[in-house]
């Protein structure tokens, strides 16, 4: 919806490309070092921000609890989500409470469960039901325990936008992906009209700080927001490096309809949207995620593309270890996409919402959209101001290493 607002020709032009803002690592960097980029950041709340509004405002209202009578804990992939939860937009001065009271990383949750005597690896009844089972037949419900989706395991903002743009385009479409310098963390996605070849949309996935810094240079060049002379120099250097790499780095992958990917006009198209994530590999590789326990000799350590040593040294988690190995991240991705449903089963859908001629996936998407709208209407009615506060947030330039109230990042203890 926000993308539609930005590209609506009937309205005053808004800055583009739109940049995803669900990653607090990226937001923190932009607010402190790239203030020119802030108007490009999507105002949509992150998933944690949305849950904060849902739990304390919507659900609390339904069960007769005030926001300060609920203690809301989230399990997140990184420590930066704690910083996000402490932002002023997510604090209610009326009730003196935060929308998210406590953020635990998955690694902390694992430690907590172990400390309390739980075995996180012990089996749960029904967990061996295959993920592709017809859940209608098993549970009498078209809902999986977790709603599956297309796109990435880091919020799938780009995937959702591509799906919606393709669905609303009058002609058939195809998607062309292009890895920049052979990196799966830096990929362009072009949505083309399959009949005319017109590029309807150009998006990108940009994960990891190195790619992110290149993105800032590229977007600064496209939008003319790189005002400092130092940036001009960086741009010139980046351009020379790009030229030197020409022909050796960009890899076109097959189109989604199997047609020839070689047409003109793709390079000229400016970016419309970028899914920006600070961690290489995205949230499955977040700094707070559970880490593999391996025995590795010091001499076997490599320096990854972010300049960190990996894999871990010795037994357990190495304090200096920030990212997991690519192999471990690939395993986590497999579990993310093919994970088993988690009992207890979801409630059965009301019969009037079942349309047997549709596929189970399309019903899930439709039903999810319908329920989401119902919840927002329930919480905000038709009040546009309330809807904005419920679903969106603001970003501000931060001077120096100072958080609100004069607290520095270094002084923050979790």
Residues of the shown chain interacting with ligand SF4 in the complex, contacts defined by CB under 6 A: 23-25, 77-78, 80, 154, 277-279, 282-283, 286
Cα distance from N-terminal residue to C-terminal residue, the chain? 35
Distance, in Å, from the CA atom of 7 to the CA atom of 16, rounded to the nearest integer, reads: 8
Helices (H) and strands (E) in the chain, counts: 13, 12
Distance, in Å, from the CA atom of 124 to the CA atom of 118, rounded to the nearest integer, reads: 12
Q: Tell me how far, at minimum, the Cβ of 208 lies from ligand SF4, in Å.
A: 9
Closest residue by Cα to residue 314 from 332, 300, 333, 331: 300
Q: Helix (H, G, I), strand (E, B), or coil: what is residue 58?
A: helix
Pairing of strands 102-105, 309-310: unpaired
- Which of residues 7 and 47 has its CB atom nearest to ligand SF4 in the complex? 47
Q: Tell me how far, at minimum, the Cβ of 44 lies from ligand SF4, in Å.
A: 14
Q: What is the dihedral of CA 72, 77, 78, 81, to 10 degrees?
A: -30
- Which of residues 97 and 153 has its CB atom nearest to ligand SF4 in the complex? 153
Q: In this chain, which residue has its C-beta nearest to ligand SF4?
A: 286
Q: Tell me how far, at minimum, the Cβ of 27 lies from ligand SF4, in Å.
A: 9
- Which of residues 76 and 161 has its CB atom nearest to ligand SF4 in the complex? 76
Q: Tell me how far, at minimum, the Cβ of 240 lies from ligand SF4, in Å.
A: 30
Q: Tell me how far, at minimum, the Cβ of 46 lies from ligand SF4, in Å.
A: 8
Task: Report the Cα 134 to chain-centroid distance in Å.
Answer: 28
Evaluate whether 101 touches 312 at the Cβ level (below 8 Å): no
- Which of residues 57 and 105 has its CB atom nearest to ligand SF4 in the complex? 105
Distance, in Å, from the CA atom of 233 to the CA atom of 408, rounded to the nearest integer, reads: 31
How far, CA to CA in Å, does 21 sit from each of 27, 46, 50, 346, 365?
6, 7, 13, 30, 23
- Which of residues 191 and 278 has its CB atom nearest to ligand SF4 in the complex? 278
- Which of residues 79 and 365 has its CB atom nearest to ligand SF4 in the complex? 79
Q: Tell me how far, at minimum, the Cβ of 73 lies from ligand SF4, in Å.
A: 17
Q: Tell me how far, at minimum, the Cβ of 113 lies from ligand SF4, in Å.
A: 20
- Which of residues 55 and 76 has its CB atom nearest to ligand SF4 in the complex? 76
Give 303's strand partners: 309
């Amino acid at each position: 919806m926000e993308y539609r607002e930005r590209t609506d020709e009937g309205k005053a032009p808004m800055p583009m490309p739109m940049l995803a803002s669900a990653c607090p690592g990226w937001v923190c960097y932009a607010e402190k070092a790239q203030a020119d980029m802030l108007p490009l950041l999507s105002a949509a709340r992150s998933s944690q921000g949305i849950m904060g509004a849902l739990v304390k405002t919507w659900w609390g209202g339904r069960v007769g609890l005030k926001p300060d009578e609920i203690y809301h804990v989230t399990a997140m992939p990184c420590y930066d989500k704690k910083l996000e939860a402490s932002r002023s937009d997510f604090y209610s001065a009326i009730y003196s409470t935060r929308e998210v009271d406590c953020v635990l990383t998955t690694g902390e949750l694992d430690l907590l469960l172990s400390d309390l005597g739980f075995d996180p690896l012990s089996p749960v009844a029904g967990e061996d039901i295959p993920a592709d089972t017809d859940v209608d037949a098993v549970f009498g419900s078209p809902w999986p325990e977790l709603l599956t989706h297309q796109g990435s395991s880091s919020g799938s903002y780009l995937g959702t936008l591509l799906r919606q743009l393709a669905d609303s385009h009058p002609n058939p479409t195809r998607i062309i992906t292009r890895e920049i310098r052979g990196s799966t963390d830096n990929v362009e996605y072009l949505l083309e009209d399959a009949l005319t070849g017109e590029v309807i949309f150009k998006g990108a996935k940009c994960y990891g700080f190195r790619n992110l810094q290149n993105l800032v240079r590229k977007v600064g060049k496209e939008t003319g927001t790189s005002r400092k002379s130092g940036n001009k120099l960086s741009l010139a250097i980046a351009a020379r490096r790009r030229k030197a790499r020409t022909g050796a780095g960009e890899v076109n992958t097959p189109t989604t309809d199997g047609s020839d990917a070689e047409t003109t006009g793709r390079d000229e198209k400016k970016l419309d949207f970028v899914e920006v994530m600070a961690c290489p590999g995205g949230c499955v590789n977040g700094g707070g995620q559970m880490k593999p326990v391996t025995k590795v000799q010091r001499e076997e350590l490599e320096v990854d593309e972010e300049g960190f040593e990996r894999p871990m040294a010795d037994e357990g988690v190495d304090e200096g270890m920030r990212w997991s190995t690519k192999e471990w991240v690939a395993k986590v991705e497999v579990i993310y996409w093919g994970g088993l449903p988690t009992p207890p089963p979801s409630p059965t859908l009301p019969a009037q919402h079942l349309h047997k001629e549709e596929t189970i996936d399309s019903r899930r998407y439709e039903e999810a959209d319908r329920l989401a709208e119902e919840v927002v209407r329930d919480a905000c009615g038709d009040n546009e101001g309330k809807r904005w506060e419920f679903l969106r947030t603001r970003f501000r330039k931060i001077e120096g290493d100072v958080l609100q109230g004069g607290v520095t990042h270094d002084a923050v203890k979790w």
